[in-house]
């Protein structure tokens, strides 16, 4: 088998890159370890930066997004029972759109199928070869047979546990990591949201978030200890704890119901650099992880794809490798700003078990500053709505 770009991973990053390449006439094949049903069933976040929405329009996959996405001009911070609204539109001239990552993936899968571009699911024994040569290839098994996919470049979009980053030679990469001493317990329920905009709450008992997937489906989160388990939380127990952490008027808006899904997610920051190794280019979670507090995970994957597509397009269209040479530096410059923002938001909103009274008073001062400083609120709005590519 032969293609121009082999893409490892059929998540949003891999599918979006494949869609952009296909529309530009650049041949590509996507290889995915999981089944199509598994890929389409993964429940993830759904706060899209304006730049992400624009990229999905550029890729020709935004029709349903435009019809069903919820455009938000702002969000609220809750502290000590009070709410402070961050007006994204007024402060940054940008908005965010609520549209689930599951729906983004479905739109991209359907667009790829419409173009009849190949995606090979349920691959086994996948390995990357010759990434530091001019003739890389990918070996794998599918349907019981062994295959080799020859290519010009490999795009590693297969997440933090995928083969791509782990194929980098020892010593050729450096990683940076911060593990947080708590997790998020999330619950999905078919009930109207508690508020028409997202509410991020800081409370003595821990962080809470009121989010949504649509006008009739809500997503709620509470901070829990790292060792906590879903089995420890009934739906009633979850909703009782959620309400304790919210201002009274927001808590009154929480409508309970049977959960569609509950899960515990640990929080960490991770960056591997560089993001290029010869003919292998990493994108999305294969290169970096951020805590979900700043809603940057999917959006960072899209910005990586923006830079990588631009580099590959210039290579094939203009016979220029300038974009390939600068891909890692360009992507990482934006990645680290998002990592910083996510780290800051996490520190602002969570209860840290090892913090003392001084740290608590600093948190109070930070909220007070945000509530009374347009400059501070503007900085928050600019980062939340998304920095430019």
The span from the CA of 284 to the CA of 304, in Å, is 6
**Residues sharing a CB contact under 8 Å with residue 197, sequence separation 6 or more, in sequence order:** 72, 73, 74, 75, 76, 85
pLDDT at 245: 97
Choosing from 180, 292, 350, 351, the catalytic residue is: 292
* Pairing mode, strands 28-31 and 5-8: parallel
The span from the CA of 138 to the CA of 6, in Å, is 8
Kindly report, as residue ranges, where domains of CATH 3.50.50.60 are found in the chain: 5-69+98-176+268-346
Residue 388, phi then psi, degrees to nearest 5: -65, 155
Kindly report, as residue ranges, where domains of CATH 3.30.9.10 are found in the chain: 180-266+352-385
What's the angle, vertex CA 219, arms to CA 213 and CA 223, rounded to 5?
A: 150
pLDDT at 51: 97
Choosing from 296, 306, 315, 350, the catalytic residue is: 296
pLDDT at 293: 96
Of 161, 157, 163, 128, nearest to 8 (Cα)?
A: 157
What CATH class is the domain 180-266+352-385?
A: alpha beta
Dihedral sign (CA 332, 334, 336, 342): negative
Q: Which residue has the tokens 């020709």?
A: 60
Cβ 182 vs Cβ 226: under 8 Å: yes
292 is known as an active-site residue = yes
Q: Which residue has the tokens 């999305």?
A: 284
384 is known as an active-site residue = yes
Q: What is the mean pLDDT of each run of 10 residues along the chain (389 residues)?
A: 97 98 98 95 86 98 97 96 95 97 96 97 97 97 96 97 95 96 97 98 96 95 97 98 97 97 96 98 98 96 98 98 98 98 97 92 95 97 97
Q: How far is CA 216 from each of CA 4, 211, 275, rounded to the nearest angstrom? A: 43, 11, 39
Cβ 278 vs Cβ 133: under 8 Å: yes
The span from the CA of 251 to the CA of 245, in Å, is 8
pTM: 0.96
Choosing from 33, 72, 306, 350, the catalytic residue is: 72
The span from the CA of 218 to the CA of 237, in Å, is 17
Choosing from 99, 137, 180, 200, the catalytic residue is: 200
Q: Where are the beta strands (DSSP E) in the chain?
A: 5-8, 28-31, 47-49, 70-72, 74-79, 82-87, 96-98, 119-120, 124-129, 137-142, 145-150, 153-156, 174-189, 199-202, 208-212, 218-224, 259-273, 276-277, 280-282, 288-289
pLDDT at 43: 72
Neighbours of 57 (CB within 10 A): 13
Residue 95 burial by Cβ neighbours in a 10 Å radius (0-12, 13-18, 19+): middle
Cβ 269 vs Cβ 342: under 8 Å: yes
Token duo for residue 364? 């109070």
The span from the CA of 148 to the CA of 9, in Å, is 16
Task: Identify the H or E element spanning 309.
Answer: helix 297-318
The span from the CA of 192 to the CA of 212, in Å, is 8
Length of the chain: 389
Does CATH number 3.10.20.30 belong to domain 5-69+98-176+268-346?
no
Neighbours of 81 (CB within 10 A): 12
The span from the CA of 211 to the CA of 200, in Å, is 9
* Pairing mode, strands 276-277 and 259-273: unpaired
72 is known as an active-site residue = yes
């Amino acid at each position: 088998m032969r293609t121009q770009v082999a893409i490892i991973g059929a998540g949003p990053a891999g599918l979006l890159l494949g869609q952009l390449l296909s529309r530009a006439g650049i041949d590509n094949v996507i290889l995915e370890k999981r089944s199509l049903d598994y890929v389409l069933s993964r429940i993830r976040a759904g706060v899209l930066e304006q730049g992400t929405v624009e990229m999905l329009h550029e890729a020709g996959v935004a029709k349903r997004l435009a019809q069903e996405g919820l455009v938000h001009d702002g969000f609220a911070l809750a502290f000590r029972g009070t709410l402070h609204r961050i007006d994204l539109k007024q402060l940054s001239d940008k908005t965010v759109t609520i549209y689930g990552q599951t729906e983004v993936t479905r739109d991209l899968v359907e667009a790829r199928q419409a173009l009849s571009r190949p995606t090979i699911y349920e691959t086994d024994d996948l390995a990357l070869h010759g990434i530091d040569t001019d003739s890389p290839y990918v070996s794998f098994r599918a349907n019981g047979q062994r295959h080799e996919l020859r290519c010009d470049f490999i795009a590693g979009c297969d997440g933090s546990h995928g083969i791509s980053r782990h194929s980098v030679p020892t010593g050729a990469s450096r990683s940076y990591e911060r593990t947080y001493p708590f997790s998020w317990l999330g619950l999905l329920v078919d009930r109207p949201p508690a508020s028409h905009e997202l509410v991020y709450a800081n409370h003595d008992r821990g962080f809470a978030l009121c989010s949504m997937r649509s006008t009739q489906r809500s997503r709620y989160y509470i901070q829990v200890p790292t060792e906590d388990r879903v089995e420890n939380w009934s739906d009633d127990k979850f909703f009782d704890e959620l309400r304790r952490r919210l201002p009274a008027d927001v808590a009154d808006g929480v409508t309970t119901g049977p959960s569609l899904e509950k899960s515990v997610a640990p929080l960490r920051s991770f960056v591997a650099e560089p993001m290029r190794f010869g003919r292998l280019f990493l994108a999305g979670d294969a290169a970096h992880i951020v805590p979900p507090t700043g809603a940057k995970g999917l959006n960072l994957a899209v910005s990586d794809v923006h830079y990588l597509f631009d580099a590959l397009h210039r290579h094939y269209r203009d016979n220029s490798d300038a974009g390939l040479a600068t891909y890692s530096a360009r992507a990482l410059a934006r990645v680290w700003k998002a990592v910083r923002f996510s780290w800051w938001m996490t520190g602002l909103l969570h209860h840290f078990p090892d913090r003392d009274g001084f740290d608590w008073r600093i948190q109070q001062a930070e909220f007070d500053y945000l509530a009374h400083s347009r400059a501070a609120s503007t900085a928050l709005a600019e980062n939340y709505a998304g920095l430019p590519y």
